[in-house]
Amino acid sequence: MVNKTTNIFIGILTSIIIAIISINASAFFGKELLGFNKSPISPIFLSLLSGIIVANFTKMSLIANIGIEICIKYFLKAGIILMGIRLGINDMLSFGLKGILVITPCIILTIILVEKTRSYFSIPSKMATLIGVGTSICGATAIVATGPVIHAKKEEIAFAIVNITIFGIFAMLFYPFLAHFFFSSNPISAGLFLGSSIHETAQVAGAGMIYADQFFSSEAFDTSTVTKLVRNTFMIIVIPYFSIQNNKLNGLKTNFSKQVYQIFPLFILGFIFFVILRTIGDYNLEKNGSIFGLINFETWTMLIDTISRLSKFLLIIAMSAIGISINIKKLRSIGFQIFYYGLFISAFVGLVSIGTIHLIF
C-alpha cells in the first residue's frame, strides 16, 4: 500500500488527467471527426465513463482512494462555489423561488409515498427512509446524514447509497434529453426539472453541463444549479423531522439546533458570496464605468469567463473521480427488491417534478 501523501497525489493527478483527456477527446470526436461546431459528445460523459473503466480495470480506487475522495468532496464544492460568479442576486432569487415551488411537493409527496408503500416492497422501514431521503433531497449526503439519526445499520446505509448511485448516474446521462423533450421551448423549466429530480449535486451539475453543451442553454444550467442548492438546504428540515420521529419512538430527546448546524451544506454560503460579488461588480460597472476605479468592463468580463471555465473544469475533475469510485461488482450486490424500490421512488420524483412544472409554469 502507498503512503497517504502518495495516495492523495495519485488520486488528484489521475482525476485531472482523465478530465483533460475527456475535454480534448470531446472536442476531437465532435469537431474534428464529426464536423460539428459544438461537440455532441459531452466531456462529463467521457470523464465519468473513463473513470469507471480505470476503476474496474486497475487498482486505482484502492491505491488512490484518499485523493479521489478529495476530488469528489472538495473539488466539486469549489466548482459549485465558483459557479456563483455566473449569476446576480436577482437571477438567484428568481430561480430559487421557482425551485422551491417544485421542490416542496417533490419532497413532501415522496416522504408520504415512502411511508405508504414500503410494506408492499417488503423494504425495512429504515432502508426505505434512507432511499426516500436520498432520492428526494441530495443523494448520498442526505443518506449519510440521516443514517445515524434513525440508527440505521452500516449495511443499510451502504445499500441505499449504491441504489442512489445507480439511478443518479442514469438520470445524469439521460434526463437532459428528457428535459429537452418536455421543455424544449423553456430552458428554465428544463433546469428546474434537472435540479429537482436528479439525486446528487454532482449529478445535477453534470446534467446541467450536458444540457448546456447539447442544447446551447446556459440558463438551464444555472437554473438547475440554484434549484439543487435550494433543495440541499431542505436537509435542515427533513432530517431533523426523521430524527424527532425516531427519538419519539425510542423515548429520546432531540437537539434540533445541533443537528441543523451539523447538516447545513456550508458551501452554499460560498456560492452566495460569488453571486453577491458578481452583483456588486455589475452594479459598479453600470453606475461608474469601473469597479472601484480598478477593473474595467473588459477585465471584468475576462475574469468572469476565467472563473466560469475553472468552475467547469473542477466539476469535470470531480466527475472523473466519481467514475473512479464506482465499483461495478458492488453495484451488482444490491438486492432486486431494493433495486426496484429505488427505481419506483426515482421515477415518482421525476413524474412529480414534471407534473408540478407543467401545472405551475
Phi, psi of 34 (to 5 degrees): -95, -15
How far apart are the C-alpha atoms of 79 and 318, rounded to whole Å?
9
pLDDT tens profile 1-39: 578 889 999 999 999 999 999 999 988 877 777 666 666
Is the pLDDT higher at 33 or at 348? Answer: 348
How far apart are the C-alpha atoms of 176 and 105, rounded to whole Å?
21
**Is the pLDDT confidence value at 256 over 60?**
no
Please state, in angstroms and as integers, the Cα–Cα distance from residue 72 to each residue in 230, 314, 317, 322, following that order: 20, 10, 8, 6
How many domains does the chain divide into? 1
Band of pLDDT at residue 349, cut at 50, 70 and 90: very high
* The one-letter amino acid at 191: G
**Is the pLDDT confidence value at 250 over 70?**
no
pTM, whole model, 2 decimals?
0.82
Buried b (16+ CB within 10 A) or exposed e, 185-220: ebbbbbbbbbbbbbbbbbbbbbbbbbbbbbbebebb
pLDDT above 90: percentage of residues in the chain: 31
Pick the closest to residue 64 from 106, 1, 156, 146 (CA basis). 1
The per-residue pLDDT of the chain, averaged, comes to 84
- The pLDDT of 88-110, averaged and rounded, is 90
Cell 411511508, residue located:
115
Burial (CB < 10 A; 0-12, 13-18, 19+), residue 89, is middle
- Range(s) of the domain holding residue 144: 4-360
pLDDT tens profile 160-173: 887 888 888 889 98
Query: Is the CB of residue 209 less than 8 Å from the CB of residue 179?
Result: no
pLDDT at 162: 79
pLDDT tens profile 112-135: 898 788 888 888 888 888 888 888
How far apart are the C-alpha atoms of 78 and 203, rounded to whole Å?
15
CA 346 to chain centre: 15
Query: Is the CB of residue 292 less than 8 Å from the CB of residue 43?
Result: no
How far apart are the C-alpha atoms of 225 and 87, rounded to whole Å?
11
pLDDT at 106: 93
pLDDT at 257: 55
pLDDT above 70: percentage of residues in the chain: 89
pLDDT at 136: 84
